């Protein structure tokens, strides 16, 4: 998903404080001498709607969930609306509304938290015991937050996409999250068919979810990050919510053995190809471990200067590389390497990537998908945690321990 631009959105809210009166029964009494007095009418206690946010309040915290209740036990709420008005970061006026639901106690509770520097209006309608309907409104304003106190959330997984069986759910934040527990409690993943899984924090700006074992092929995944207004600690708050729905494709597992210099691909458990390869030379060994294909590039420039080696040095290079499949953020790929043709299948001679003949790379490129696992073995250099999507490099117990709720 594309990262949302920072903004200060205004939400609208309306709180009702309704007064309803019912006519009391009349009665008469006889004065001495048989004279009747005038009938008297009595009014029962008024029907009042209350809210947890006082009318006219200012600097209300954005993590507040507005709640509206009927104070008179004999009355009932019939409708509540919560709307807000404010300006975005460019000074443009914006409005919004927040949904809510009536609980078993008859109270209405908002389903979302609030935005900063926003004036909200609560409008409520209720019916008293007498059957008369009454409505009222109230307003309040939320506290202002600088951009440095607003955390925006994005989900890497794209709605409508199909990924490999090792694709983690990836939620990212543009600022560090201090209260990881509060944020993780507002994250949810639903899989169909159901599969056991856990969140794990990769850093204070990224949390991932993976099942205990690879996803089942054909799984439907729905992720929700309900983080708008959630307190992130250190004076920061979530500034938006996000969601995504995607699918899992066929099982495609690629194994790279750099001791034998062979790449083998399995589709749905059946071997479909074996390719001679060349991995990283001594000093630039390819990392051993379970990686995930992060992106596919039909052609890309690879220059040694990007990893601190001058292009004009004896060890330098500046190449247009075909059929590149990224497996680490540090720059390891599976790709075509026709310049290393003499080494394929017998010598590890690259700067860390796994190279192969162009036609073989093209065939592999045509079958793999983002999210496929790539299991590299045969080197003494381990895959470092967080260098790519490395959730599968942990045992299940290790991964669960990375949850803030563990």
- Copy the structure tokens of residue 105: 């106690």
CB contact set of 397 (below 8 Å; sequence gap of 6+): none
**Active-site residue identified among 353, 361, 374, 391:** 353
**Active-site residue identified among 210, 236, 326, 335:** 335
User: Active-site residue 353, yes or no?
Assistant: yes
User: Active-site residue 335, yes or no?
Assistant: yes
Q: Which stretches of 174-277 are assigned E, i.e. beta strand?
A: 187-192, 197-203, 206-211, 220-225, 231-233, 236-238, 242-248, 252-257, 262-267, 270-276
**Secondary structure (H, E, C), 2-49:** CCCCCCCCCCECCCCCCCECCCCCCECCECCCCCECCCECCCCCCECE
- Copy the structure tokens of residue 270: 């059946």
β 318-326/295-303 pair status? antiparallel
- Backbone φ and ψ of 91, nearest 5°: 85, 5
Return the residue matching tokens 């009595």: 42
Q: Using the CB atoms, write b or e for 150-177: b if 16+ within 10 Å.
A: bbbbbbbbeeeeebbbbbbbbbbbbbeb
- Catalytic machinery residues: 335, 353
């Amino acid at each position: 998903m594309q990262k949302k631009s920072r903004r200060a959105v205004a939400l609208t809210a309306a709180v009702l404080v309704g007064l309803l009166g019912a006519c009391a029964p009349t009665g008469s009494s006889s004065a001495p001498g048989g004279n009747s007095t005038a009938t008297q009418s009595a009014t029962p206690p008024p029907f009042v709607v209350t809210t947890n946010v006082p009318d006219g309040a200012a600097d209300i915290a954005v993590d507040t969930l507005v709640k509206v209740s009927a104070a008179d036990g004999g009355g009932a709420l019939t409708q509540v609306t919560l709307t807000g008005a404010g300006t975005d970061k460019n000074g443009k006026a914006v409005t919004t509304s927040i949904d809510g639901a009536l609980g078993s106690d008859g109270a209405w509770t908002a389903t979302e938290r609030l935005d900063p520097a926003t004036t909200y209006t609560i409008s409520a309608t209720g019916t008293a015991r007498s059957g008369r309907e009454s409505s009222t409104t109230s307003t309040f304003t939320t506290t202002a937050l600088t951009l440095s106190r607003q955390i925006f959330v994005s989900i890497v997984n794209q709605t409508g996409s199909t990924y490999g069986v090792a694709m983690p759910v990836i939620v990212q934040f543009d600022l560090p999250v201090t209260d990881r527990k509060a944020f993780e409690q507002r994250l949810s993943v639903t899989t169909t068919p159901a599969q056991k899984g856990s969140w794990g924090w990769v850093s204070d700006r990224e949390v991932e979810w993976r099942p205990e074992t690879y996803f089942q092929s054909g799984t439907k995944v729905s992720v929700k990050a309900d983080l708008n207004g959630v307190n992130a600690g250190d004076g920061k708050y979530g500034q938006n919510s996000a969601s995504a729905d995607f699918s899992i494709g066929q099982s495609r597992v690629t194994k790279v053995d750099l001791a034998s210099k062979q790449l083998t691909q399995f589709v749905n458990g059946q071997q479909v190809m074996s390719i001679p390869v060349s991995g990283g030379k001594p000093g630039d060994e390819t990392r051993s471990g379970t990686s995930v294909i992060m992106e596919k590039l039909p052609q890309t420039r690879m220059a040694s200067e990007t990893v601190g080696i001058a292009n004009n040095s004896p060890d330098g290079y500046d190449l247009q590389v075909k059929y590149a499949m990224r497996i680490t953020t540090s720059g390891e790929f599976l790709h075509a390497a026709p310049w290393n043709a003499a080494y394929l299948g017998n010598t590890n001679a690259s700067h860390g990537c796994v190279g192969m003949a162009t036609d073989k790379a093209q065939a592999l490129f045509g079958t793999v998908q983002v999210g496929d696992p790539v299991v590299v073995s045969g080197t003494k250099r381990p895959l470092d945690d967080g260098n790519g999507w490395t959730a599968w490099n942990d045992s299940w117990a290790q991964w669960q321990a990375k949850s803030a709720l563990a």
